[in-house]
Amino acid sequence: MPTRNAEAEWNGAIMDGKGNMKLGSGAYEGAYSFKSRMQEGVGTNPEELIGAAHAGCFSMAFSAALGQAGFQPKSIHTNAAVKFDKVGDGFAITKIDLTTEAEVSEIDDAKFQEIAKAAKENCPVSKALAGTEINLQANLNR
């Protein structure tokens, strides 16, 4: 399996400095700053990128788990809300709320919820973030 790479550079002091993050694949490059991370400034932040990674990973894991159980999803859309809080003298990602909607025919809600929960627990990004509370709300569309 390949090793994935990303990089970041920060210039200046924490309050007025600027940074840039980019993916090794070249698919994304973007600016970040104190304001984009701690307030509502222009640019991205590490938590937003973690949310995108988690939503993408979960959606793929859910699709695979549904397929292994004999169900073919038409679509899966997942949102990851990443909570970033002050904890003690520092900061931490304290919670991630995953909300997913999937269109899957010929599945009952109980089986759907069972597979969604297993996908959340077995998604590689969920495993990497095991020290963080991860909640899931799964909605079945037909």
**Does the residue 1 lie in any domain?**
no
Count the domains in the chain. 2
Name the β-bridge partners of 75: 103
CA atoms of 63 and 72, how far apart (whole Å): 8
Q: List the domain range (segments joined by +) for residue 16.
A: 6-38
Pair type for strands 6-11 and 73-87:
unpaired
Same domain, residue pair 30 and 87: no
Same domain, residue pair 116 and 90: yes
- The pTM (predicted TM-score) of the whole model is 0.94
**Does the residue 52 lie in any domain?**
yes
Each of the 142 residues of the chain gets a pLDDT tens digit; together they read 899 999 999 999 999 999 999 999 999 999 999 999 999 899 999 999 999 999 999 999 999 999 999 999 999 999 999 999 999 999 999 999 999 999 999 999 999 999 999 999 999 999 999 999 999 999 998 7
